[in-house]
């Protein structure tokens, strides 16, 4: 693909997003920075995986941060690259201009009149693998999954190293690099009103365990879970019809929002969602209840009081520094995250770090959806899985005020992977309330019902793969369905290992 423009200026070229271009010449490698092109190997654009991303990535699931190319529907989505079903790096995700108007206009490669994913045309108007009622998915050239092809960079553009027929072009080398950090998984959230249907907010109490058996072992022809009619425990589903609305757009009953969930590299070969918007892990703390008195602190070298310390001067002028719960914790190598005064305003307390953990104990992806009015918002509590004190403390702001959240919603995640023997695939999940994982449309994890957070995992060894009907060399879909139905807490954690598929990245020899 030949671009036009001035040398060293970043412009949009083909389906690759913002790339470095020289006027009248083919697209070249490089890093875009503030609208200027930096050659690989120069300051600000190092060679290899440390090179910077394009200025305005359009998505892409296979590109690493330095790739500036790649993408496609296959697998989960990454920060680098462009073209394909990848998300943006800054939530909330918004579809490309014109996507969903039923007109295919560059850089779209499909447009079915909507911006919903999972129907063969992604929320970015790029082709997705098609998964029929039974058997493996159909993967074709340009979807970012390398299956029976020399390469697949997530587009059908010639001249970028991987041709429109997925052949490596002369003068280029193509490979599948590691994914970027974070990667992005496409998801549809559906917001429901309080107690409508009555499946949401039925008033269940004392339910710590999941209620397996709520859904049938296979998805229906639409790729949705089916209610079995089971009752009791934490199930509380009114009918098969009400359950069917959980994962279908239903006028007047729910409102759908398309988004992308970032999953962060955990340093152990897997990707997991985190609490913070920039990948910050949740900190589990314990309370140090006595850390000194206000006005009796030890002093620093400048004579200033040190909070959470204890110092007393007797009548004879003797100075005594006493150990507190906070100082004892610090002396043992623990980290004091926060020092503060208790409700009396006289006694210091401290939050001591116990552990930094993955997942999110305040999973509220539809807080911005106005389908549910503010009058139906509720305060959220921290479940024991994320609270060493096990006090079910509330989510509060800096002033100590309870934050109001939008409960009663569902989540539908789908992504694709190529199954190969000899490779390890593992999925860990934790959630409240209902969570189901289907692989190749067959139930792999069953955590149905209203309950406090429960964890479970599935590993695709040969026996499990056989039970799920997986054959080597084929592409399959993983579908995760979640529901938040009780206004107490909302926890969600998903960890992927091996399922992610990288699209090809091609470079000039």
- Token look-up 């412009």 returns 11
Which of 331, 357, 383 marks a domain boundary? 357
Looking at the structure, do residues 342 and 447 belong to the same domain, yes or no?
A: no
Helices (H) and strands (E) in the chain, counts: 3, 26
How many domains is the chain partitioned into structurally? 2
What is the three-class DSSP state of 466? Answer: helix
Q: Calculate what percentage of the chain has a pLDDT beyond 70.
A: 81
What is the three-class DSSP state of 301? Answer: coil
Q: What is the mean pLDDT of the chain?
A: 83
**pLDDT by residue (tens digit) across 83-108?**
222 222 334 567 778 899 999 887 78
Out of 67-81, 407-421, 489-503, give the one with best mean pLDDT: 407-421
Residue 81 counted as domain residue: no
pLDDT of the residue at 140: 82
Looking at the structure, do residues 418 and 320 belong to the same domain, yes or no?
A: no
- DSSP one-letter code for 76: S
pLDDT of the residue at 436: 98
- DSSP one-letter code for 49: G
Looking at the structure, do residues 371 and 485 belong to the same domain, yes or no?
A: yes
Q: Quick check: 366 pLDDT over 90?
A: yes
Q: Containing H/E element for 416?
A: strand 409-418
CA atoms of 234 and 251, how far apart (whole Å): 27
Residue 87 counted as domain residue: no
Residue 333 counted as domain residue: yes
pLDDT of the residue at 97: 82
Q: Kindly list the distances between the CA atom of residue 188 and the CA atoms of 120, 257, 337, 390, 478, in Å, as whole numbers in the listed order.
A: 15, 6, 36, 32, 14
CB < 8 Å & 24+ apart, contacts of 328-331: 329/288
What count of residues does the chain have? 509
CA atoms of 427 and 422, how far apart (whole Å): 17
pLDDT of the residue at 36: 52
Looking at the structure, do residues 209 and 344 belong to the same domain, yes or no?
A: no
**pLDDT by residue (tens digit) across 191-216?**
999 999 999 999 898 899 999 999 99
Which of 357, 376, 395 marks a domain boundary? 357
Report yes or no: 445 and 379 within 8 Å, Cβ to Cβ. no
Residue 152 counted as domain residue: no
CA atoms of 157 and 1, how far apart (whole Å): 7
Q: Quick check: 52 pLDDT over 50?
A: no
Out of 58-72, 95-109, 119-133, 269-283, give the one with best mean pLDDT: 269-283
Residue 80 counted as domain residue: no
pLDDT of the residue at 12: 40
**pLDDT by residue (tens digit) across 138-189?**
888 888 888 889 998 887 778 888 998 999 999 999 988 888 788 889 999 9
**pLDDT by residue (tens digit) across 343-359?**
999 999 999 999 999 99
Write out the two tokens for 68.
Answer: 């500036």
Q: Averaged over 10-30, what is the pLDDT? A: 45
Beta bridge partners of residue 9, listed in sequence order: 21, 36
**pLDDT by residue (tens digit) across 126-144?**
888 889 877 899 888 888 8
Q: Quick check: 8 pLDDT over 80?
A: no
Residue 313 counted as domain residue: yes
Q: Averaged over 13-25, what is the pLDDT? A: 43
Burial 291-321 (b: 16+ CB within 10 A, else e): bbeeeebbeeeeeeeebbbbbeeeeeeeeee
pLDDT of the residue at 82: 26
Residue 144 counted as domain residue: no
Domain extent at residue 342: 284-357
**pLDDT by residue (tens digit) across 221-235?**
999 999 999 999 999
Looking at the structure, do residues 442 and 339 belong to the same domain, yes or no?
A: no
pLDDT of the residue at 62: 29
Contacts of 34 (CB under 8 A, 6+ apart): 55
CA atoms of 507 and 160, how far apart (whole Å): 8
CA atoms of 298 and 59, how far apart (whole Å): 54
pLDDT of the residue at 177: 81
Which of 357, 382, 405 marks a domain boundary? 357
pLDDT of the residue at 85: 28
Q: Calculate what percentage of the chain has a pLDDT beyond 90.
A: 60
Looking at the structure, do residues 372 and 234 belong to the same domain, yes or no?
A: yes
Q: Quick check: 414 pLDDT over 60?
A: yes
Q: Averaged over 444-454, what is the pLDDT? A: 97
pLDDT of the residue at 361: 96
Residue 234 counted as domain residue: yes
Cis (ω within 30 of 0) for the bond into 370?
A: no
Looking at the structure, do residues 328 and 453 belong to the same domain, yes or no?
A: no
Looking at the structure, do residues 236 and 366 belong to the same domain, yes or no?
A: yes
**pLDDT by residue (tens digit) across 453-495?**
999 999 999 999 999 999 999 999 999 999 999 999 999 999 9
**pLDDT by residue (tens digit) across 283-333?**
999 999 999 999 999 999 999 999 999 999 888 888 999 999 999 999 999
Looking at the structure, do residues 250 and 385 belong to the same domain, yes or no?
A: yes
pLDDT class of 47 with cuts at 50, 70, 90: very low
pLDDT class of 13 with cuts at 50, 70, 90: very low
Report yes or no: 405 and 378 within 8 Å, Cβ to Cβ. yes
pLDDT of the residue at 124: 86
Report yes or no: 439 and 98 within 8 Å, Cβ to Cβ. no
Contacts of 489 (CB under 8 A, 6+ apart): 361, 380, 381, 382, 383, 392, 432, 452, 453
Looking at the structure, do residues 390 and 252 belong to the same domain, yes or no?
A: yes
pLDDT of the residue at 466: 94
Looking at the structure, do residues 396 and 474 belong to the same domain, yes or no?
A: yes
Sheet holding 31-33, edge to edge: 18-21, 9-12, 36-38, 31-33
Looking at the structure, do residues 365 and 344 belong to the same domain, yes or no?
A: no
CA atoms of 85 and 118, how far apart (whole Å): 11
């Amino acid at each position: 693909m030949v671009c036009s423009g001035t040398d060293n200026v970043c412009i949009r070229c083909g389906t690759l997003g913002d790339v470095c271009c020289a006027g009248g010449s083919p697209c070249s490698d490089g890093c875009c920075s503030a609208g200027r092109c930096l050659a690989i190997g120069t300051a600000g654009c190092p060679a290899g995986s440390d090179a910077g991303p394009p200025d305005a990535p359009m998505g892409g699931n296979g590109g690493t941060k330095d790739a500036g190319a790649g993408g496609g529907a296959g697998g989960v989505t990454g920060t680098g690259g462009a073209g394909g079903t990848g998300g943006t790096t800054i939530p909330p995700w918004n579809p490309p201009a014109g996507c969903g108007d039923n007109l295919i206009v560059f850089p779209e490669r499909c447009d079915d009149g909507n911006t919903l994913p999972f129907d063969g045309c992604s929320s970015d108007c790029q082709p997705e693998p098609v998964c029929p009622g039974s058997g493996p998915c159909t993967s074709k050239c340009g979807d970012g999954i390398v299956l029976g092809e020399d390469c697949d960079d997530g587009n059908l553009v010639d001249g970028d190293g991987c041709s429109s027929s997925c052949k490596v072009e002369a003068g280029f080398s193509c490979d599948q690099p590691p994914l970027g950090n974070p990667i992005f998984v496409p998801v549809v959230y559906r917001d429901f009103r309080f107690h409508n249907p009555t499946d949401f907010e039925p008033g269940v109490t004392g339910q710590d365990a999941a209620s397996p058996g709520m859904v049938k072992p296979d998805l229906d022809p639409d790729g949705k879970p089916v209610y079995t009619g089971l009752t009791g425990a934490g199930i509380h589903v009114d009918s098969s019809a009400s359950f069917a609305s959980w994962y279908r757009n239903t006028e007047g009953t729910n409102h759908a929002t398309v988004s992308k969930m970032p999953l962060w590299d955990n340093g152990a070969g897997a990707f997991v969602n985190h609490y913070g918007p920039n990948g910050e892990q949740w900190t589990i703390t314990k309370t140090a209840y006595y850390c000194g008195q206000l006005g009796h602190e030890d002093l620093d070298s400048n004579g200033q009081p040190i909070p959470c310390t204890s110092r007393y001067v007797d009548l004879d002028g003797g100075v005594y520094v006493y150990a507190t719960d906070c100082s004892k914790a610090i002396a043992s190598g623990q980290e004091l995250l926060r020092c503060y005064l208790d409700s009396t305003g006289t006694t210091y307390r401290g939050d001591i770090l116990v552990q930094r953990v993955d997942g999110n104990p305040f999973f509220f992806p539809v807080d911005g959806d106005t389908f549910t009015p503010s009058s139906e918002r509720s305060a959220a509590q921290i479940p024991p899985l994320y609270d060493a004190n096990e006090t079910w403390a509330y989510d509060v702001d800096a002033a100590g005020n309870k934050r109001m959240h939008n409960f009663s919603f569902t989540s539908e995640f789908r992504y694709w992977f190529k199954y190969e023997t000899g490779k390890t695939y593992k999925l860990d999940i934790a959630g409240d309330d209902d969570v189901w994982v289907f692989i190749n449309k067959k139930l792999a994890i069953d955590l149905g019902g209203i309950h406090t957070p429960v964890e479970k995992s599935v590993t695709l060894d040969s026996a499990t793969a056989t039970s799920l009907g997986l054959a080597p060399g084929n592409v399959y879909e993983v579908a995760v369905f979640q529901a938040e139905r009780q206004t107490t807490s909302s926890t969600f954690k998903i960890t992927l290992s091996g399922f992610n598929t990288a699209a090809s990245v091609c470079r000039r020899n």
